[in-house]
Amino acid sequence: MITVRPDIADGKRGSRGDLLFNLEGTRLINLGTEPLTGGPAYDCAGYWGSTCGGPNAKWRHVFNTTWATPWSGFDLTARWRFLSGSDSEQISSNPQLAGNALPLTQHIKPYSYFDLSADVSLSKMFRLQLGVNNVLDKDPPIIDSGGGPFASNCPNITPNQSSCNGNTFPQIYDALGRFMFVGLTADF
């Protein structure tokens, strides 16, 4: 995590406010599995499928930029959520994963989502937060879950894996599209 924050510990903000930056990222180097000791192994980093489960992006991050406005108790935040691309395990050179993937679902391109939010202090006790996630209403990737020789780019029935739902991975990508929210926090 990298955070750049001007010194506003005294509660005073500059005449134009302050910009705060925060980056949290994860680099997945290896996601190896050896089902039997000494047996064949496979690495799911950068892959998805019936064995690897949901997409295992090799890089993901959340980058926040907050404008701490000159009006105390009012902040605006823009957030960028990023996931690197992933490939179907079926195109892997590892025989533990390889199979016949449909050409249209061999690769999920990198995904970026942009969110906006405002945080307003109503009093010493109450804070209001308003926002929109996935401002650009980006659709999730569509993954084939059909049968036949290309079955299971989208693992629907594997019990211990993250599965597709509606031909995508809603636990990883924004399946609902643009999402608006309002929250009220009370501190006692």
Which ranges of the chain does DSSP label H, i.e. alpha helix?
none
> Which of 154, 168, 63, 187 has its CA nearest to residue 114?
63
Question: pLDDT tens-digit profile of 61-112?
Answer: 999 999 999 988 899 999 999 999 999 888 888 888 877 666 667 889 999 9
Would you state the pLDDT for residue 165? 63
Q: Say what percent of the chain tops pLDDT 70.
A: 78
Q: Is the pLDDT of residue 161 over 70?
A: no
Would you state the pLDDT for residue 37? 87
Q: Is the pLDDT of residue 166 over 50?
A: yes
Compute the average pLDDT of residues 108-127. 95
- Higher per-residue pLDDT: 116 or 11: 116
Strand intervals (E) in the chain: 2-4, 18-27, 32-33, 42-43, 47-48, 59-68, 74-83, 86-88, 107-108, 111-121, 126-133, 179-186
Q: Say what percent of the chain tops pLDDT 90.
A: 50
pTM exceeding 0.75: yes
Burial 124-140, CB ≥16 within 10 A → b, else e? eeebeeebbbbbeeeeb
Question: pLDDT tens-digit profile of 4-33?
Answer: 555 554 556 667 889 999 999 999 999 998
